[in-house]
Amino acid sequence: MAFLLQADAQTNPRQAAGRLKSHKQKVSTNLMVKEPLFVTEQPRERALLVGIERGAVDWPLEESLAELERLVDTDGAEVVGSVSQRLTSPNPRTFIGKGKVAEVAAAARALEANLVVFDDELTPTQQANLEKEVPGVKIIDRTALILDIFALHATSREGRLQVRLAQSQYLLPRLRGMWSHLAANRMGGGVGSRFGEGESQLEVDRRMVRKRIGSIRAELAKVRDERAGQRKARLASSLFRVALAGYTNAGKSSLLNALTGADVLAYDKLFATLDSTTRRLVLPEGREMTLTDTVGFIQKLPTTLVEAFKSTLDEISQADLILHVVDSSAQQRDAQTHAVRDVLEQIGAHEVPQILVFNKCDLLDEQQRELLTSRFPQCLSVSALTGEGIDGLLGRIEQAMNATSTLLNILVPFAEGHLVQLAHERCAIVSERFTEGGTALQLQVPPALVSRFQPYKI
């Protein structure tokens, strides 16, 4: 019975919820029952989407709302409808116009929505006004939704702390005096009525959140010290660092898995990856490098998240090479690519050399493939799924490594055999000869190792 009801809740949550309610009413009269008889899943929340059509070429409203729907779905709610308005800029009071607000309230009632999601970040004032004018429904914006998904997917201590920091920063300007009605009740006069109790409560709330932000920052600093130690160790090992960056769901984790045999979670949800993962990789020529998978980007990425995830994003800005992974089959492929470039610039990673990698090429037909290569002659088409193009990608990484290295001719005495081993692991060997005086090598040396080999130059 329990199982049946649970399955039912998944297929038809509202009906199941209704049945559960009547059952609950029944059991509440039965004093023998102390524990609920069964646990069912919460019915999915019903969301109404709201967006404005600004006439943007990059992100037409339908595409932006389709993405918002995926975000809502990732967060576990169900989209039941959408309302849109053509506006050049948002209304400062309620984001959409007055008449549209009434339309949203009516649609929410008709569709039995308990959640209204705006496709942009609302100002604290807009949110407060909307809550008043669309009563009984939760009003959230795109930023809150993304923060919620991050909270859902955060697994590591650092990830969770970063999300809590971003959430608290988002919350701070949105706090409202929850007890202000008490002050209003006493406005008849008398002792205490002049203090504005609601305001002071708001101050208390703000102080509490600020304090929380302070303690999260302190805890994060500790975690980051540990991570900085790991990163330093990686730097000291002077391995060439390659970072995977790109739009969420482009296939970064799948590529890490395909290239290194790692087993990182890759699935068809937005923001599956929050924590970066680094793996070593031996290139066909024998040189080693590290490859780091990172959090995905999205258009209108909340700035609080960019700030809070700074140390994770440093993995990208401090890399020697970025593989910008693009979902070549995405409807909004070009707009996604631009959005990623914007974030890379925002985090100071735009000067790191980049290779544009068009992933999921298995989903393209012949004509689409030709179009892609004619538009981007230098681009690399790969498929993390089928392995197509992976060898070409490795070759391009080797070329990029060579571009940053110095060509040296050295003679290493036999007694210094460990240097020859180091050369094989970290450098591209152009030629190798054994002579009476030791091993003669011509090699491409990465910047960090030049000083180690310089003394043996011939």
Ligand X SMILES: Nc1nc2c(ncn2[C@@H]2O[C@H](COP(=O)(O)OP(=O)(O)OP(=O)(O)O)[C@@H](O)[C@H]2O)c(=O)[nH]1
In the complex, the residues that contact ligand X under the rule CB under 6 A are 246, 248-254, 266-268, 270-273, 296, 359-360, 362-363, 383-385
Output the smallest distance, CB 259 to ligand X, in A: 12
Output the smallest distance, CB 276 to ligand X, in A: 11
What residues contact 331, with CB distance under 8 A and at least 6 apart? 63, 66
Strand runs (DSSP E) across 42-130, as ranges?
A: 46-53, 78-86, 115-118
* Binding status of residue 162 toward Mg ion by CB under 5 A: no
359 binds, among Mg ion, ligand X, none (CB under 5 to 8 A by kind): ligand X
What residues contact 354, with CB distance under 8 A and at least 6 apart? 321, 322, 323, 324, 344
Alpha carbons 287 and 289: distance in angstroms, whole number: 7
Specify the residue, 40 or 336, whose C-beta has the smaller distance to ligand X: 336
Alpha carbons 452 and 146: distance in angstroms, whole number: 47
Output the smallest distance, CB 153 to Mg ion, in A: 10
Specify the residue, 146 or 412, whose C-beta has the smaller distance to ligand X: 146
Tokens representing 255 are: 């590529």
- Picking from 150, 92, 126, 168, the residue whose alpha carbon sits closest to that of residue 301 is 150
Alpha carbons 133 and 118: distance in angstroms, whole number: 15
x/- contact string, 209-248, with Mg ion (CB under 5 A)?
A: ----------------------------------------
Residue 164 CA to its chain's centroid (Å): 15
118 binds, among ligand X, Mg ion, none (CB under 5 to 8 A by kind): none
For the sheet with 240-246, list strands across it. 277-282, 288-293, 240-246, 321-327, 354-359, 380-381
Specify the residue, 248 or 299, whose C-beta has the smaller distance to Mg ion: 248
Q: Which of 74, 253, 290, 383 binds Mg ion (CB under 5 A)?
A: 253
Residue 73 CA to its chain's centroid (Å): 16
Specify the residue, 52 or 325, whose C-beta has the smaller distance to Mg ion: 325
384 binds, among ligand X, Mg ion, none (CB under 5 to 8 A by kind): ligand X
134 binds, among Mg ion, ligand X, none (CB under 5 to 8 A by kind): none
Specify the residue, 253 or 336, whose C-beta has the smaller distance to Mg ion: 253
Q: Which of residues 266-325 bind Mg ion (CB under 5 A)?
A: 272-273
Alpha carbons 67 and 44: distance in angstroms, whole number: 19
Specify the residue, 108 or 384, whose C-beta has the smaller distance to Mg ion: 384
Tokens representing 330 are: 């995405």
Output the smallest distance, CB 292 to ligand X, in A: 12
Q: List residues binding Mg ion (CB under 5 A).
A: 252-253, 272-273
